[in-house]
Amino acid sequence: MSLAEEEKAQLQTKIKIEGTIDRHVFESIKEVYEAEKKEAEAEDKPEPSFSQVLEMILRKGIKAYKSKK
């Protein structure tokens, strides 16, 4: 798959969302983001984007929610 095809595929699977959250929730997300950045730096890995960390948090939250059901 070429780079252009990969970017096109991402545009078809990634959806931008907008919403309002409590300030404390946002601060917690920022803390997780900073921890993930430090971990990536310590392991000499590429720094994750804020969107990647947010998606990770959402995926884990969804997984935890579904495991309760």
Residues 38-67: tens digit of each pLDDT: 999 999 999 999 999 999 999 999 999 999
Number of domains forming the structure of the chain = 1
The answer to whether position 33 is within a domain reads: yes
- Is position 9 within any domain? no
Task: Say if 1 falls within a structural domain.
Answer: no
Whether 28 is in a domain gets the answer: yes
**Mean pLDDT confidence for 10-32:** 90
Is the model's pLDDT at 23 over the cut of 80?
A: yes
For residue 35, is it within any domain?
yes
pTM for the model stands at 0.75
- pLDDT tens by residue, 28-37: 999 999 999 9
Cα R_g (the chain), whole angstroms = 15
Calculate the CA dihedral of residues 9, 57, 49, 29 and round it to 10 degrees: 150
> How far out from the chain centre does Cα 35 lie?
13
Contacts for 32 with CB less than 8 Å, ≥ 6 apart: 53, 57
